[in-house]
Chain A
Amino acid sequence: MASVSKEFKVKWGMVIDVDKCTGCGACMVACQAENNIAPVTDASDKRRSLNWLLVYELSNGKAYPEHEVAYLPRPCQQCGSYPCASVCPVVATDKNEEGGIVSQVPSRCIGCRYCMAACPYHARYFNWFDPVWPSGMDKIITPDVSVRPRGVVEKCSFCHHRFMQAKDRARVAGKDVYDLEDGEYITACTETCPNGAIAFGDLLNEKHRVYHLSRSKYAFRLLERLGTEPQVYYLSKREWVRRQGDNYLQNEPTPVKG
């Protein structure tokens, strides 16, 4: 499934500690508000609602009282080897900017939805309808992210506008825009999480926390064996959680790093 892989000097990535996530959904609210996603009245119907970030509930599959539960937030995985961009006929999605964020350009998108079919993470959403804000609520649309009309695909951009703002600040300060300090650029969900479950930074920069977290023996990525090289890592000390990150055979051991 994987297509060509691109390497960058800076690779923005996320490390989500599943053992700290309580599934409160504050990250989803922040994401929606930050990225101008219109609210829908039947939002529990996941075929209708657009979720750049979606929190899944995981179960260890055991009956009471052996049951365990965990919550897994799923943004776009910003794959290093991107199945979505390789199938886009109009280059509406690509991965060619330093930082390794998979772009999504709504004005180029022709709505063919090949990318949605190609994405193994279901991280892409199609605007079946025009966005409608209740009367007066459009006043809280932010200046940062264009509102998308019906007929185009959208997805998490790692709050790309925040990356641009961080670079602008660095330029003004006379700093190297590709050597941002840890925390100078973070996504809205990272900023919001009260549990500190989401860490964000440059996966290739030793000075960033995610560099070390992503190398933890408890780190795993979703469907890693597809070779998509996601830039989103997850952490869990619970083996059953790590096993749900990929399709393991019943007796196949869960790989352990280090």
Chain B
Amino acid sequence: MDIKRRAFIAMAGLSAGVSTGIVLSPLPWKLLDDLAIWTQNWSWIPTNPKGENTYTQSTSKICPSGCGVRVRLLNGRPLRALSNHEHPLGGGISALAAAEPQLMHSPARVRKPRLRGADGKFKDISWAEAEALLLAKIREAGSDVLCLSGDENGSSVAVLSSFLHHLGSRAMYLMPSEAQCASLAWQATCSVPTESQPGYDLESSDFVLAIGANLLESWGTFIRNRRIFAQKRQADENSSFGFVYAGPVQNQSAAVADSWLPLNPAAETVLALGLANLLVTRYGRSVNAPGFDAVADNLSAFTPDLVRELAGVQPRALEELAEKLASASKPLVLCGSEFNQGGGLAPSLAGLLLNLLLRAPITAVPLHTAALPGALSRNEVYKNDFLRDLAKAGNKLTAKLTLFYNANPAYGLPGAKTVAKAIAEAPYKVAITPFMDETAMLCDLVLPDAFGLEKLDDIESPHGCGQVFYGLSRPLQKPLGESRHGLNVLLGLGIELGLGIGLPTFYEDVLKSKAAAMNLNWRELHNGVTFERPFLRLDDVSGLDLTRYESLLFGPARGVQAKNMLTLAPLVKNALGTAQTGIPPFSLKIVRDDELAGQDSFVALCGETARHLGLAAGSAVKVASAQEAVFAKVRIYEGIAPGSVGIYLGFGHTALDEFSRGKGANAFELMIPAEEAGSGLMVWNKTGVTITKA
């Protein structure tokens, strides 16, 4: 084609004009912008929902601290759990409670009733079938029914024990906890007009000594503890408030304490008695109660030299600590197992003795039990020790029907594999659970329970709070799948069974009656308002009696031996969930890469121990107790006493979802329960282990 010069110039001019016009117009930029957005707007990328935001209050049932939450709802559906600064046990929110709305949608949730077939596999069944089957099994078992519950703060204890009572059984158990030890120690020390538990008035204290008790991460009402800690530290930059942590591991509490006093594992009692001895002999402290003279005689054996030998605490450090306690105007001692269980009665009694000597702000917190026929209070249930009775029966569950209510003993009890074997071999076992956990996997029938913010439930005075507390966890969302409130199912079965007068139709009725008995306004409670009542000072407590300390406290204390082997020091992280919940998907990122690497969890050793064993950071090792062996990697952490082996609880699940399953080792498998001298309670806070290269 022949293009003339004039035509070429005209075309070039036109092109330039068009280009300029396009560049100056908003069109290409708008299209480019749309294109950029479109490239990120794939159908599989979730879009943001729209709707109305509302807020309401509740109390977390899944977090052991019972912390308050402010729930953000979108179109009436829970979206976020936020901190509730108005709540008596709130003032922030725990990692576990913050992950609650997400956890309600966990892949590990049981959505339908499940029945184990002859081939060992589960199949979904209808509720009608499940209820008919359970009804038949209950009739068949008669009074030979056992129940283990994982809920110690709610009225479920009363409902379950009343249900068993109607069947003719008293085999009601709770999963072991620090609360159990504290409660039994309290009952062994004093009698009060009503059922009660010890309360700890942290608010008024000016010096806190935590022995073992991980005050700011897992002990008692730890979110409230942290709020109080923050307030005391914030009030004055040069605050005179003192906080000392004594324990085998420089844990979360030790990280912010004024000082950390390293201690051999399971030596809490010895340290407390060493301090008590100094308070009596050097500071002339005493307790006006029967049995104190014998206590004082026994204390004289716990000299600073003995404490150095057994607890690894130097006499100078012990004397300085005793002086701090003696000079504080309102000192408070919190003594317990560093992992909230398995310490037995002795540490709680030793702590109580120290507090009595110091006239510490300890209170009596009255407890209320729902008025149901044959219902047991939680203090009464604490006297039943599941592990002790299991051991007595030759590690066999012989009841014709075993009922697990929100409990996961196959994972979360010491000697987990032995417990799991006992469950697997039990005649017939039923799990009422929101999650397909290790215990549910072993059961014959699994009933999907509503969970968290799907379920109406109550929380009464969790262990550690200083006053009477009563709050409701409120149903804010329809239960997932075909889940139902497990207690309503049982109450319905009670009617079918014709279990007599007194059992209500719905759990809500139980709570309403309880609230009325406590003179509380149900409507206000139902709106999420929580309640606190003034406490009873220890001065008002009648019947203080230390005569049983000889056998209950000094018996086990004298049995403590010098450390000559590697000892397990279990570590707790609230974010890793509970035995029942597993690791919440939204909490998993908190786990550091020197705590979990792929499928390997770590054991923490100090440099001295590692050198002694010929190990270095990252070494693959086999950790073995007399019970079991697990594999792990070595983490060098200088905040742990020589000879102690730090291991996190919460790993090593074999069930639940991909966020929990197959991650690291279950430390419970290593632990060996043994009977505590005096109380007969099972203890598992001093597991000797060996470590070899794997």
Contact = CB atoms under 8 A, between A and B. Distances in A.
A67 interface: yes
Given A29-B95, A69-B254, A149-B40, A64 B639 contact: yes
B286 to A, nearest CB: 33
Interface string B74-96: 10011110110000000111110
A17 to B, nearest CB: 8
A140 interface: yes
A26 B102 contact: no
B202 interface: no
A41 B589 CA distance: 9
Contacts of B101: 33, 140
B638 A67 contact: yes
A123 interface: no
B50 interface: yes
Given A19-B256, A24-B217, A191-B82, A138 B586 contact: no
Interface in A137-161: 137-149, 151-152
Given A143-B48, A194-B93, A29 B255 contact: no
A20 B256 CA distance: 6
A194 B223 contact: yes
Interface stretch (B187-195, B224-232, B454-462): B224-232
A148 B596 CA distance: 27
Interface string A50-76: 010001010100111101111100000
A24 B94 contact: yes
B98 A26 contact: yes
Interface in B95-111: 95, 98-99, 101-102, 105-107
B406 interface: no
Could you say which of B105, B262, B641 has the most chain A C-beta atoms within 10 Å of its C-beta?
B105
Interface in A180-212: 191-197
A107 B74 contact: no
Contact of A23 (B83, B252, B659): B252
A49 interface: yes
B596 A64 contact: no
B525 interface: no
Given A22-B216, A63-B608, A195-B256, A41 B48 contact: no
Interface stretch (A7-15, A127-135, A243-251): A127-135
A48 B37 CA distance: 25
A34 interface: yes
B256 A59 contact: no
B598 interface: yes
A133 B46 contact: yes
B36 A108 contact: yes
B262 A64 contact: yes
Interface residues of B, number: 81
A20 B608 contact: no
Contacts of B44: 130
B588 A138 contact: no
Interface in B544-594: 573-575, 584-593
A28 B82 CA distance: 13
A141 B217 CA distance: 28
A166 interface: no
A134 B99 CA distance: 14
Contact of A25 (B82, B231, B587): B587
A257 interface: no
A136 B222 CA distance: 31
Contacts of A26: 92-95, 98, 575
A195 B105 contact: no
Given A134-B107, A140-B105, A195-B229, A33 B586 contact: yes
A223 B589 CA distance: 25
Contacts of A145: 48
A147 B230 contact: no
A30 B82 CA distance: 8
A63 B592 contact: no
Interface string B254-271: 111000101000000000
B587 A29 contact: yes
A22 B253 contact: yes
Interface in B1-51: 33, 36-37, 40, 42, 44-51
Interface string A95-117: 00000000000111000000000
A39 interface: yes
A39 B92 contact: no
Given A44-B592, A64-B606, A59 B586 contact: no
Nearest to B37: A107
Contact of B40 (A19, A32, A137, A152): A152
Interface in A216-255: none
10 contacts: A28-B95, A29-B575, A33-B98, A43-B588, A69-B639, A130-B44, A137-B102, A147-B45, A194-B226, A194-B230
Nearest 3 CB-CB pairs, A to B?
Answer: A194-B92, A25-B590, A196-B230
Interface of A: 19-26, 28-30, 32-34, 36, 39-46, 49, 51, 55, 57, 59, 62-65, 67-71, 106-108, 130-131, 133-149, 151-152, 191-197
